[in-house]
Amino acid sequence: MTDESTMRVRLQQVAAYRELCRSVQRGGRENVVFALIMLGLAYLIYSGGGAANERAAILFGIIAAGELLVGLYKWFAPSAFGLFLDGVVMLVFAGLNGWFVYQRVQMGIGANPINVFFGLFMLFGAINRFKSYGTLRALFAERPDPEHMAWFDDLVREIRWSDPQTDQLALDLPTRPHWRAKLLGNTAFFVAVTGNGVWVAGPDDFVLRRDKADRGTGRRKALLSIHGEGYPEFEIADDSWNNYTRWIAGQGLPA
């Protein structure tokens, strides 16, 4: 593997970790919503009166506060560690339901099926979160530093707003998903206009082809494939095509 190929692999890892962080960040909102629901549940239990209800409400409130803190952490500092924190909260919640089941059995009432269900559901969820965290730690043993991530975010924003008419390094590829690209040196950066999709590719890693003749629409149809994944046919403007052919010729390859 050449130094250039190694660089592109590392940049793709940065893109993958960036997408992971965005996913964790979205999950943070779900944590906050769940925490608010748990706080509402704690209030309802507390309103029922009685010492047992008060103790249960306090426990629910503590777990809800933990869930809220995890959600805020995942939102403001998204990383793979957020999955580990998810697992901890789910494990505590499973333990709480297990404690409710134990108390009812001790009192001779019998286990509440709802507590059993939620206890097992949260337990398996916690195990899966811990497994996912372990897998991600192995995949991203060398996590990108914050400065590198910030540079990548700036590059993504620049590519999304690039205009092939004024920037000879830019491509506008309105397939599905809609891609914009930047041709920097011998590396092409593809960024989805919506979502977090990013591809880093060399000249041999993607193919862009268009019709040799106009079908009467003023724009010729084109096909795009990145790392072997094909996309639906689309119309490509001359500016983007000319930028691409100029770049690909500079790489010594036929357009």
Whether 220 and 241 have beta carbons less than 8 Å apart is answered as yes
CA-nearest of 4, 1, 44 to 187 is: 4
Query: Please, what's the largest Cα pairwise distance for the chain?
Result: 83
Q: DSSP letter at 183?
A: E
Structure tokens at 183: 């041709």
Structure tokens at 38: 């748990």
CA-nearest of 179, 162, 181, 186 to 171 is: 181
In this prediction, residues 150-176 reach a mean pLDDT of 93
pLDDT at 255: 62
pLDDT > 90? residue 175: yes
In this prediction, residues 172-187 reach a mean pLDDT of 94
In this prediction, residues 136-155 reach a mean pLDDT of 83
Domain(s) of CATH 2.30.29: residues in the chain: 164-250
Over the stretch 196-235, which tens digit does the pLDDT of each residue have?
889 999 988 999 998 876 666 656 789 999 999 999 999 8
For helices 51-76 and 81-106, what crossing angle results, to 10°?
A: 170
pLDDT, mean over the chain: 86
pLDDT > 60? residue 250: yes
SS3 226: strand
In this prediction, residues 133-137 reach a mean pLDDT of 86
In this prediction, residues 50-55 reach a mean pLDDT of 73
Q: DSSP letter at 205?
A: T
Pairing label, strands 234-236, 229-230: unpaired
In this prediction, residues 13-28 reach a mean pLDDT of 86
In this prediction, residues 108-122 reach a mean pLDDT of 82
**CATH 2.30.29 is the classification of domain 164-250:** yes
pLDDT at 254: 67
pLDDT > 70? residue 57: yes
Whether 4 and 186 have beta carbons less than 8 Å apart is answered as yes
